[in-house]
Structures are given as structure tokens and as C-alpha cells.
Amino acid sequence: MNSPVIAPSVLAADFANLQRDVEMLNESRADWIHIDIMDGLFVPIISFGLPVCEAINRHAQKPLDVHLMIERPEHYLAAFQKAGAEVISVHYEACTHLHRTLQEIKALGCQAGVAINPHTSVSLLEDVIMDIDLVCIMSVNPGFGGQSFIPNTYQKVRDLKAIINRKGAGTLIEIDGGVNADNTPKLMEAGADVLVAGSFVFKAENPKATIAALKDA
């Protein structure tokens, strides 16, 4: 079993010391930096937007994995690519024309991701799986950090992996929400490739050691 790609979520970082926390991630074994963009419409709260993404990019030495929890994400793709995004994930639930949006992300030179909420079936992605570089399975309800992991996620990962294998796609499976040392081995066994961890990393006594432990799980 391969080591997971670890993408710590800066939603759980210290916003007053964001440069310090990004530099800590640079020095750690993290692979990507996950940035949650929330508009207060698609999800209940507002996080941060383009200026903060640009600021993180100025200090980051790891790829930026940008998760757009926003309505009408297709209006902002080019702006986030310019702000440093290398992976852009849009929500299935927010995209009327998902295939077109995926093509637009790829045309910008970014990896194209699709995020799905806990109630959304992975089977809905079957027709576009060949166009998706990454599926972000939300293992909590989007909008708030520190929530409990939803156990049905394991089955969703297995079901999605079956679709990917059947279609011969190269799509990665990312898990976002409630990831910790206890559920990481089961997620990897089910077929996950990328793990987003926020509170578990940034509230740890030693975040770099916590990231290393997830990497070696």
C-alpha cells in the first residue's frame, strides 16, 4: 500500500500567524496545502478568498489544493489559478454544467477535482470520472472544522474505487473531514489516496510529527 498524500488544511491554522504555519508545512512531510474557500452561501460560513490564497502562495513551497465551497465556482477558476492553485476542486452540488467546468479547469493547466457532500452518491460521477483528476469525498458536512468523521465514508471510498478501476481512470480519492490516526489505515485500505487533515494537525502538540505519523500510517 502506497503512502498517502497528506494535505493539511489551513482552515485550522492560526490566521494571525499564517506565514509561520505555512513555513512549518514547508518543512514538514506534507505533500500539498489544502485551502478551503467558503462564501457563506454554499456553506454557512465565510472563510477567506483570493487575497489570502495569494498570500499563502507567496510563502508555500508545496502545491496548493484549493477546495471551492462556493456557488458559481466557474466564475472564479482563472482567478484562483492566477492566485497559485495547482489543484482546483468544485462541488458537484454547485455545478450545473460539471463537464464544462472540469474542461475549463484543465484548460488553465490545473488538476480538476470534484468534491461531493456526504449525501451525494459517488455513482453520479461515473459519466465524468475520466475527466476528473481527483474526487474529494467530504467525510463531514462542509462548512465547519473539527466535526466527527462519518463512518459511511469507508463504503463510499470502496464504491468510488470500483468505478475508477472499472473505467480505467487515474482519478485520486481525497478524504476531507475528521481524518486522524485512527481512521487513516482504514481509509487507505478502502482505497483513499489523499488525506486532508486540519484540526488534527494544527491543534497537535507537534504538527510536523503528526503529519509524519499520518504519512507513515
Average pLDDT of the segment spanning 48-68 = 97
Average pLDDT of the segment spanning 104-110 = 98
Q: Is the pLDDT of residue 52 over 70?
A: yes
User: Residue 55, Cα to own-chain centre: how many angstroms?
Assistant: 19
Q: Which domains does the chain have, with CATH numbers?
A: 5-215 (3.20.20.70)
Average pLDDT of the segment spanning 36-59 = 95
Instruction: Pick the catalytic residue from 31, 36, 39, 193.
Output: 36
Phi, psi of 174 (to 5 degrees): -110, 140
176 is annotated as an active-site residue = yes
Q: What percent of the chain has pLDDT over 90?
A: 95
Neighbours of 107 (CB within 10 A): 12
Instruction: Pick the catalytic residue from 31, 65, 131, 176.
Output: 176
**What digits encode the pLDDT tens for the residues 156-172?**
999 999 999 999 999 99
Q: Is the pLDDT of residue 146 over 90?
A: no
**With a threshold of 0.95, does the pTM exceed it?**
yes
Cβ(81)–Cβ(109) under 8 Å?
yes
182 is annotated as an active-site residue = no
Mean pLDDT across the chain: 96
**What digits encode the pLDDT tens for the residues 66-89?**
999 999 999 999 999 999 999 999
42 Cβ contact list (under 8 Å, min separation 6): 69, 70, 71, 91, 93, 94, 142
Q: In what order do the strands lie in the sheet with 64-69?
A: 5-8, 194-197, 172-176, 134-138, 111-116, 85-91, 64-69, 33-38
